[in-house]
Amino acid sequence: LDSVPRSEWRTLLWVLCHCHCVVQERRKYGAIGWTVPYEFNQSDLNACVLFLQNHLLDMDAKKAKDVTWSTVRYMISEIQYGGRITDDWDRRQMNTFAEKFFAQSSLEPNCELFPGYSIPTGNDI
């Protein structure tokens, strides 16, 4: 948790883990969850964590102020998880998750991913 000094790190890590849980849980619903039974696993999450870590450290080195959301969404939904996705409708669903979860609004105080379900902030993570 302390590997990245940027303030966004803990929140983005929490959002990423939440997204991974949603992706995994959809598998339990068979064909209505994902059209194809993809083998998403811990290595997908680990690759995304490593990407986020490197992206934020790179931003810090370049003195960048804001997260490049389009890059984060693309890498997570199209490359990391999307590398396993073969169905167009499933790809659209994954991109929808990325749009919902990986946005500037997720860093705002009291952000709710779903009604009544707020993202923890700071040291609460």
- Residue-range definition of the domain harbouring residue 26: 8-124
CATH assignment of the domain containing 59: 1.10.8.720
What is the rounded distance in angstroms from the CA atom of residue 44 to the CA atom of residue 66?
25
Q: Judge whether 67 lies within some domain.
A: yes
Average of per-residue pLDDT across 70-82? 96
On the question of pLDDT at 125 being above 70, the answer is no
Task: Give me the number of domains the chain comprises.
Answer: 1
- Average pLDDT across the chain, whole number: 90
CA–CA distance from 82 to each of 6, 74, 78, 96, 106 (Å)?
Answer: 27, 9, 4, 12, 22
On the question of pLDDT at 123 being above 80, the answer is no
Q: Judge whether 3 lies within some domain.
A: no
Average of per-residue pLDDT across 72-101? 96
Q: Judge whether 103 lies within some domain.
A: yes
